[in-house]
């Protein structure tokens, strides 16, 4: 039996947040923006497992070790209605090419269907050609023309 055949997917638990955060940092390094990860473990745990959880994730495990995850939340589009927003999907580098990303992505498609949502959306960097090609295998649309805007916590707190 190969390692890929021993991968299990399950809903993330609070105890998984430390490993998920490590993988988020790995993703940020890959995306050339490690300094942008400012969320604390406590904030992540509260946002996912506190009184008002705002995200859910699935983890891919091999022998109890998390090798990948897909984290999402439900967003509302005034044009399309309720949709699953796939915030991050990552398989740690040593485990790529073993169809774990496929398992996680397809789990997100099933989740969107089971929740009765009107679709699924996500972002991909325009230079991340392997990811773009991966998503195109599903017949998805990769858009152009939209720029992301954001304000930091400090900017919000300092608003007068």
> Are the C-beta atoms of residues 85 and 99 closer than 8 Å to each other?
no
- Amino acid 159: pLDDT: 94
Decide if pLDDT at 156 tops 50.
yes
Options 3.40.50.1370, 3.40.640.10, 3.40.630.30, 3.40.30.10; which CATH number does 3-157 get?
3.40.630.30
- Active site (catalytic) residues: 135
* For the chain, domain boundaries: 3-157
| DSSP code per residue over 43-77 | HHHHHHHSSS---EEEEEEETTEEEEEEEEEEEEE
Strand, helix or coil for residue 9: strand
Q: Tell me the per-residue pLDDT of 17-56, one tens digit each, with 9 for 90 and over.
A: 999 999 999 999 999 999 999 999 999 999 999 999 999 9
Q: List % helix, strand, coil for the chain (3-state, nearest 5).
A: 40, 25, 35
- Amino acid 148: pLDDT: 83
Residues 135, 27, 56, 131: what is their CA dihedral angle, to the nearest 10 degrees? 0
Residue-averaged pLDDT of the chain: 94
């Amino acid at each position: 039996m190969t390692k890929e055949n021993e991968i299990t997917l399950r809903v993330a638990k609070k105890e998984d947040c430390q490993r998920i955060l490590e993988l988020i940092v790995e993703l940020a390094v890959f995306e050339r923006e490690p300094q942008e990860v400012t969320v604390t473990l406590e904030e992540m745990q509260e946002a996912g497992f506190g009184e008002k959880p705002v995200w859910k994730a699935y983890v891919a495990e091999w022998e109890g070790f998390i090798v990948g995850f897909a984290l999402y939340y439900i967003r509302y589009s005034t044009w399309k209605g309720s949709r699953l927003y796939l915030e991050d999907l990552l398989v740690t580098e040593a485990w790529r090419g073993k169809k774990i990303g496929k398992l996680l992505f397809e789990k997100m498609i099933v989740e969107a269907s089971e929740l009765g949502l009107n679709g699924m959306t996500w972002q991909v960097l325009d230079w991340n050609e392997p990811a773009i090609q991966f998503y195109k295998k599903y017949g998805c649309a990769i858009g152009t023309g939209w720029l992301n805007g954001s304000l930091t916590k400090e900017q919000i707190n300092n608003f007068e």
